[in-house]
Structure 1
Amino acid sequence: MSSPDTSARTSAAPEPPPTPRPATVTSAGRPTDEQLLGARLVPLRRPGRWAAALALLVLFAMLVHTVLTNSRFQWGTVGDYFLNGSILQGLALTLWLTAAVMATGYLLGIGVAVMRLSRNPVLTSLSFGFVWLVRSVPILVQLLFWYELASLYPQLSFGIPFGPEFATVRTAHLFSGVLAAYVGLSLDVAAFSSEIVRGGILSVDPGQAEAAQALGLGRARILRRIVLPQAMPAVVPASGNLLIGMLKATSIVSVIAVQDLLYSAQLIYNQNFLIVPLLLVTTLWYIILTTVLSIGQFYVERHFARGRRRTADRGFWQLFRGNVPLLGRGDGKFAGLS
């Protein structure tokens, strides 16, 4: 007869683990559930995708090879003129014109967007007519109209409407090529940015403004402190695209003899007939500027998207590698913020 301590130790001994049952096959020859759960996943073969990718890589390699080895591109000449004084002066004018046009255009655009959303039928009609007219006329035609304003209105007068005039200015001396480009491009940006801002304002929950009104805040303060900050995540991506598009659109001012980046290159190749190298210089500068603006747009988007998107905390290179799987391990889906 065993003692109580021995019996307690015997009863408390751990039981051996159960022996796994061997996987069996059903009578119909089909695998069991255990076999299906333990099977190794085999990725789907996609020979068409790999063949298409290989063909595109070969074509891309051929393109790079012909660009680098074709002596007619004259890359040495491109390097000689890349930092030329005239090119840099045109580049500075392009940057100044882009910044001035975007700043003025967005200030006007915010005002037009507020007018479109107002309850005053006169303001709504006038703002709608402005957007409709500016978006309907090509930007080149607008620039030509402003440049030829002196032929329509030789002088501008200031005074009482339909009454005496206090001052008169001759438009022939007032509207130079730079001023005509500034005014025409600013109005074009104002029309497009007003729709961007209006769409961002409409994306904000109306309850936010109603709650602010219940607290006694004025309409201007509600717009400035509550509505616009919440509309920025919807406004920034489209605004970044508009900024990059306007940077490239400034090249159109060369038709009215404004010495921007493109017109500076044209002045040089009209003398030495090195058309392709000078166009490559212009192209490289535009590529550099648009790349810098794209990186800046990414950080601005991440700033306004914090707390809203899970990708807001990811770095630039993480998103870049996620969107270009050849440079790293991709996510399988688009990883951008916009």
Structure 2
Amino acid sequence: MAVVDEHAGNGELVAGTLEVTSGCVILDERGHQRLVMAWPSDLSSWIEESGAIGFDSSTGERLVLQDQYRVSITGTRVAEQASLDWVNAPRPDCVSGGVFLVSDVTDLVIPPEDLAASDGPIGGGLSSATGTEAQLECPTDVEAATEEWYGPAGLTLDGAVAEAFGDLLVGWIGEPFEMESTDEWSSWGLQDDEGNLVAVATVVASNGGWDPSHARYCVIPQPTPPPPPFTLYVSNQSFEDPTVGITITIDDQIVVDEDFEVEGQHNWIAFTPDVDPGDHTLEAVSDKGAEFRVDFTLPAGEPRWAVVDYWFYPDEGPRRFTFNISDEPLAFG
């Protein structure tokens, strides 16, 4: 898991499903973006025996977060991960959609196989007919679907509604509005830009809070955001120079100016400089005297992934850089 020696502000709330391994902890943000979670060192720990994360929430509760748990997390997206004070940096192959610096875990939904027995109602156990009988207004040739959720989790009402709607809350529909409620359940709706009712979600009262129960919605495809047009990885591959300062410019504009640690030679740091399609010149210099220059081309509408590695082995010649560029995401061994 990625660990940092710093704290984030509560600038943003993200929600999704955790994918937990010892090497990567990813939040699948409801299918729209996959974020590497960077955990504060004084609040987090890796639980080896269960393959889980221990986290001290702001409520004082020690949370145990495991694979496939659905969570809501506050914190800050990080544009340049190299600027973080890493205790344990993420593997380069983990970082695809960006890094999120964790501040707090505000909601937690545990899969049913991990739950202890409960006297409260289970979210998916409530009939899908409960709540409003309003008819969805789906576009022509678009079908409606029903999805049931599990619980209980005792979420806030807003948190349970967000969980019940899932990725339908992303941008293109807008904010949910309350349609019909009782002491036992509450139904909420979403409208499209034309005011058509395209989704209804119901939550149920349980465990002193609310559980997501089910959602009926129009199955409207949502576009997948394209990858950044240019991703540049930089790494120090020299045990002789365990720390090296590297400055990289593209067309005389500085895009990288950092110290790079060799660690185990598996420490590639990703950057996403704003580079337009066309012909470009990349130049790299190190504080150890190595210099490098290469021309490359970015085609319009096609992403590219590149890597600059710094090398020095005394019996293999002077300090040097290498450069590779690919039309497919890079995998590092």
TM-score, normalization: structure 2?
Answer: 0.20
**More relative contact order, 1 or 2 (CA 8 Å, 6+ apart):** 1
Q: Normalized per residue, which structure has more helix?
A: 1
Q: Normalized per residue, which structure has more strand?
A: 2
